[in-house]
Amino acid sequence: MSTTDHTATRAERVTHALVRDVELPGGQGTLALVTLDNGLDHTKPNTLGPEGMAELTGALQGLQSRAASGEVAAVAVTGKPYYLAAGADLLGVGAVASREQALELGRSGHTAYELLHTMGVPTFAFVNGLALGGGLEIALNCDYRTVASDAAALGLPETGLGLVPGWGGAYLVPRLVGIEKAVEVVLTRPAQNKPYKPAEALKVGLVDELFEAADFLERSITWAAAVLRGDVTPTRRELDPQPVWDAVVTGTRRQLDHLVAGSRPAPYRALDLMAAARESDRATAFAAEDEALADLIMTDEMRSSVYAFGLTSAGKKPKGAPSSDLARPVTRVGIVGAGLMAAQIALLVTQRLGVPVVMRDLDAERVEKGLGYVRATTEKLVGRGRMTPEAAARIVASVSGTTEIEQFATCDVVIEAVTEVMGLKKKVFAELEEIVGEDTILATNTSALSVTEMASDLRHPERVVGIHFFNPVAQMPLVEVVRADKTSEEALATAFAITKKLRKTAVLVADRPGFVVNRLLVLVMGKVVEAVENGTSVEAADTALAPLGFPMPTFELFDLVGPAVGLHVLTSLREDLGERFPRSPGLEKLVADGTRVVLDAPAPGMHKPVDPAIQQVFGEALPVGSTGRAGTPVLDAAGVLDSVLTALTVEIGHMLTEQVVADPTQIDLCMILGAGWGFHTGGITPYLDRTGYSERVLGRRILPDGVANVPAASV
């Protein structure tokens, strides 16, 4: 799909269908080569809107006539450099105002692509670059497919965007690669936001042949001629037996019920289409795709997904960041601490910035443990083929350890990653200020403490900035860059420059307790535990947030972050922000006793259920609706969800008043990338708008109508 900005207003960026004739080698006749090209540079991918689709249809109809008269022996489709097509133009899809228009959008794609199937001569797709969604479906509708070794990505991301592969993909993929692999292509990979590399696409069976990029087109044409001569016959698998097909569909539906829990319709609609694909004919299957696409385009989930997709794309240019010209050069980085977070940061910094890193801790044992993590992690990456031995050796050689703070004297940036205790962090910065140069930037990885307070006793507090990473550092895409009261533009620019080189999305946040993610996520966990304290069963509370589509239930999240860490942040936020953040004696006891809060997952890929035994720590579960231990009614799962959403709405109102971020979109960006808030919700504020909490609690919408939902005026 296209990554066009959801807020833009423009005419369609038309992708043209340019036709030229190529003589096939060996006297095999003429190949009509259709090149998709929007006429723009490599930063503007080909996308498919109504005008472009109409032009493609016209071009293919003309070629069909030429094929019938014997003028051409084959037809092939390729793209401009780096792109076949990035799919449908999401801006255009998001602007559809009625179901009739949505239905026509699906039908127009099928009309064009069906010509590739009924051309009368063999059709080929030469996938020279990125092919996503409708771009890949062009190739799937052709008879044969080649791919270039450097194509950026191939995939069908639609279900991750609230849609289904609606131009043939839901029907063709399971018949081409088998139902089990089709589930991976249509459901699993989009959920992971993990398209295929060319070699993977070949292995799965989405393409027939892979050629090196340098002479890709020439070799593809030669290969096409060999196919026409009969020298090459790409294999096609038999359809899976009906019992196998049914078993995979049943198992997948069960897994969707567990992981998605009905929170969004698109994965279910896609599975329904794939379930029917074995026995349906093309016309019936494509009509069903049209209907599904029309239904889904007119859902808030799809509009919210497009909004979220636009946010994460636009996040590469952070709002409020100073000019990059102000950033200080970084040639050596220091990390205070050698614990897990510190070691993860050290590894990422030297890997992405390519500069030496020194970790310092209080004793040699801790230092060696941090260095051991770096060595072990690089060894694993080499073993998995994700890093070359040479790169691993360079990284290990670039990360050193010490117990002497004086080793930071020549560092351009020093990041502290010690225990979340204000006194300790202030002591660290005071010691650093006596050692480092005047231009050295001091950064803190604090997750909730005041950066302003941390720098308050320094001679140069303007050099201090927050760079809050999330755990696990390598995987989590978000970094909160914290501007303290006296943070200089140079320190801020340096922080943004570092996060960009680390390939993270940075969001500028004000120095307020918990910043964005922890302030809201810890509030969620606190309200769930508060309900249990009052008498709600731990099982009901744990599953209450399933409609939000979080990556995991609440107590599994507690287990991931560590109950002690969650309790510490909850306590500190309560001290700073008051009674809105509840106290939990039960959680305090769990932490004090070191009690694990979840059981093992029943199967790989399944959630870890809450341990029912912890109920006794909070007190016995009471009947729903009865007066609880706090003097308020005991809540069921729906009541817990209502309590959480009400509290979130209140808190976001405070955050916007406090100007924690530039605007509500930045809260959504933080929650999507830092807390796993589902794309289908659009982030937190569209969900609160859509469910009526914003107007009920704040008296107004947070986002304008139509930005992340189907506008009220739409038919």
Tell me the per-residue pLDDT of 589-602, one tens digit each, with 9 for 90 and over: 999 999 999 999 88
**pLDDT, average across residues 60-71:** 97
Check whether 29 has a pLDDT greater than 90: yes
pLDDT of residue 3: 36
DSSP states along 409-423: TT-SEEEE---S-HH
Angle at 653 between CA 649 and CA 657, to 5 degrees: 170
**pLDDT, average across residues 510-537:** 96
- Of the listed 71, 100, 158, 184, which one is catalytic? 158
453 is catalytic: no
User: Which residues make Cβ contacts (< 8 Å) with residue 455, sequence separation at least 6?
Assistant: 429, 442, 461, 464, 484, 486
Query: Are 35 and 18 a contacting pair, CB within 8 Å?
Result: yes
CA 285 to CA 113: how far, in whole Å?
A: 14
**pLDDT, average across residues 123-131:** 98
Q: Which two tokens stand for residue 122?
A: 């063999």
Instruction: Calculate the average pLDDT of the chain.
Output: 94
Q: What are the two backbone dihedrals, phi and then psi, of residue 468, each rounded to the nearest 5 degrees?
A: -95, 105
pLDDT of residue 7: 38
**pLDDT, average across residues 219-223:** 98
b or e along 25-57 (b: 16 or more beta carbons within 10 Å of the residue's beta carbon)? eeebebbbbbbbbbeeeeebbbbbbbbbbebbb
pLDDT of residue 714: 67
Question: Which pLDDT band holds residue 39 (cuts at 50, 70, 90)?
Answer: very high
Lowest mean pLDDT among 242-251, 297-306, 639-648, 658-667: 297-306
- Of the listed 137, 416, 556, 651, which one is catalytic? 137
Characterise 510 by phi-psi region: left (phi > 0), alpha (psi -120 to 50), beta (else): beta
Check whether 313 has a pLDDT greater than 90: no
CA 526 to CA 568: how far, in whole Å?
A: 12
pLDDT of residue 9: 43
158 is catalytic: yes
Check whether 251 has a pLDDT greater than 80: yes
Check whether 609 has a pLDDT greater than 70: yes
For residue 449, CA distances in Å to 185, 217, 477, 511 come to 43, 57, 21, 9
Query: Are 446 and 474 a contacting pair, CB within 8 Å?
Result: no
Question: Which pLDDT band holds residue 492 (cuts at 50, 70, 90)?
Answer: very high
Query: Are 278 and 284 a contacting pair, CB within 8 Å?
Result: no
Between 665 and 191, name the one with better pLDDT: 665
Residue type, 511: D
User: Which residues make Cβ contacts (< 8 Å) with residue 2, sequence separation at least 6?
Assistant: 45, 47, 86, 87, 88, 89, 90, 91
**pLDDT, average across residues 263-279:** 96
Question: Which pLDDT band holds residue 6 (cuts at 50, 70, 90)?
Answer: very low
| Helical residues (DSSP H) of 22-98, grouped into ranges | 50-68, 90-94
pLDDT of residue 516: 97
Count H helices and E strands in the chain, helices first. Answer: 29, 17
**pLDDT, average across residues 247-276:** 93
Q: Which two tokens stand for residue 431?
A: 């010691």
Question: Which pLDDT band holds residue 22 (cuts at 50, 70, 90)?
Answer: very high
Three-class HEC string of 116-132: HHCCCCCEEEEECCEEE
**Whole-angstrom Cα Rg for the chain:** 28
pLDDT in tens, 438-479: 999 999 999 989 999 999 999 999 999 999 999 899 999 999
Check whether 546 has a pLDDT greater than 90: no
pLDDT of residue 10: 53
Q: What are the two backbone dihedrals, phi and then psi, of residue 550, each rounded to the nearest 5 degrees?
A: -60, 155
pLDDT in tens, 610-666: 999 999 999 999 999 999 999 999 999 999 999 999 999 999 999 999 999 999 999
pLDDT of residue 309: 85
The conformation of residue 188, written as its DSSP 8-state character, comes to I
pLDDT of residue 368: 97
**pLDDT, average across residues 284-311:** 93
Check whether 703 has a pLDDT greater than 50: yes
CA 496 to CA 321: how far, in whole Å?
A: 7
CA 106 to CA 212: how far, in whole Å?
A: 34
